[in-house]
Amino acid sequence: MGLKPQTNVNIKNKKAYFEFEILDKYVAGIQLQGTEIKSIRTGKAGLVDSYCQFFSGELYVKNLHIAEYFFASINNHEAKRERKLLLNKKELLKLERKTKETGFTLVPLRLFLNNNGLAKLEIGLARGKKTYDKRETLKHNDAKRDMDRAMKF
């Protein structure tokens, strides 16, 4: 009856690639509580509507939903709390400088477990797409899908 942990957790934020133009990617560690990592290992997390923000020189991810662990007692975690991201100082300074420029933001792209079983968050330095860019992306994806269908037969 227990929840089985997955060996390859790879939770993606598909909406981020549609809404934003990703310019640069970084892999950051996440500061988690015990029940949070157990919940991630069962695949119970979501990146929809999550974003990254700086507070006093440290980077935090907000609205990252990690479901409460089913087998935890009263020591369970809050599902949408702020979680600190772990990057080296040089990367933090570079990202903080870039995000202060107009139009740039940090978006979580992917939550995964590395070979050591540690949870990592891939974040992207992004610029918002205009409506016509989104339509262009949809047209490109439709054309690619049609070509793949034609090649299949």
Q: What CATH number has the domain bearing residue 111? A: 2.40.280.10
Buried b (16+ CB within 10 A) or exposed e, 52-63: beeeeeebbbee
Q: What digits encode the pLDDT tens for the residues 138-152?
A: 899 999 999 999 988
Q: What digits encode the pLDDT tens for the residues 22-33?
A: 999 999 999 988
Q: How many domains does the chain have?
A: 1
Q: What digits encode the pLDDT tens for the residues 74-108?
A: 777 677 888 899 999 999 999 999 988 878 899 99
Q: Is residue 138 part of a domain?
A: yes
Q: Is residue 1 part of a domain?
A: no
Domain that holds residue 64: 10-152
Distance CA 21, CA 133 (A): 9
Q: Is residue 133 part of a domain?
A: yes
Distance CA 47, CA 62 (A): 10
pTM confidence score: 0.80
Distance CA 126, CA 134 (A): 14
